[in-house]
């Protein structure tokens, strides 16, 4: 079947392979307000934003699997500087704020080494 915009399947879930599910879940709950979803099982936990968006699924990584993946999870925030300052009080470490002229963003890592970003892309008037 040919994908058209009307029939294109939406991204509904991102799966992160992590070594310590409770620690990584606590990080996303604390800093991004994500809420644990029903249906957790051994080696699997799903988190969702109360404001919608894709589900973040935490999957137990194999002992041989390296930490961190070639993925970046981006969270939409209107004021990157304010978000960064507020979350720094709770221990979130984000890098320098980059200003592209159309939006700002700052990068960081979760406890498992996965790349994260907060960005105002698409939220600020140009």
Residue 2 lies in a domain: no
What is the helix (H) or strand (E) element at residue 118, kind and residue range?
strand 115-119
Q: Cα separation of 69 and 8, whole Å?
A: 25
Residue 125 lies in a domain: no
Can you list the positions of beta strands (E) in 2-114?
Answer: 13-18, 35-36, 44-48, 55-60, 72-76, 98-99, 104-109
Q: Cα separation of 79 and 15, whole Å?
A: 27
pLDDT score of 68 more than 80: no
Number of domains in the chain: 1
Q: How would you list the strands of the sheet with 35-36, edge to edge?
A: 13-18, 55-60, 44-48, 35-36
Query: Using one digit for the tens of pLDDT, what is the confidence trace for 15-48?
Result: 999 999 999 999 999 999 999 999 889 999 999 9
pLDDT score of 5 more than 70: no
Residue 124 lies in a domain: no
| Residue span of the structural domain in which 85 resides | 13-62+70-119
Looking at the chain, list the stretches that DSSP marks H as alpha helix, in order from N- to C-terminal side.
21-32, 80-88
Res 44: pLDDT: 95
CA triple 27-36-31, angle to 5 deg: 25
pLDDT score of 6 more than 90: no
Mean pLDDT within 1-10? 62
Mean pLDDT within 73-97? 96
Residue 26 lies in a domain: yes
Q: What is the CATH number of the domain that holds 37?
A: 3.10.180.10
pTM higher than the cut 0.85: no
Residue 88 lies in a domain: yes
- At 22, list the tokens: 């409770």
Residue 7 lies in a domain: no
Read off the pLDDT band of 79 (50, 70, 90): very high
Q: Which of residues 11 and 111 earns the better pLDDT score? A: 111
Residue 5 lies in a domain: no
Residue 45 lies in a domain: yes
Mean pLDDT estimate for the chain: 89
Query: Per DSSP, what are the bridge partners of residue 73?
Result: 116
Q: Cα separation of 30 and 110, whole Å?
A: 12
């Amino acid at each position: 079947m040919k994908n058209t915009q009307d029939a294109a399947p939406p991204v509904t879930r991102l799966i992160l392979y992590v070594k310590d599910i409770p620690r990584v879940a606590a990080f996303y709950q604390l800093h991004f307000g994500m809420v644990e979803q029903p249906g957790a099982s051994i080696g699997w936990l799903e988190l969702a934003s109360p404001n919608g968006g894709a589900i973040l699924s935490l999957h137990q990584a194999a002992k041989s699997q390296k930490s961190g993946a070639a993925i970046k999870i981006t969270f939409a925030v209107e004021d990157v500087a304010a978000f960064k300052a507020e979350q720094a009080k709770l221990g979130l470490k984000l890098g320098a704020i980059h200003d592209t002229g159309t939006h700002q963003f700052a990068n960081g890592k979760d406890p498992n080494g996965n790349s994260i970003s907060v960005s105002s892309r698409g939220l600020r008037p140009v």
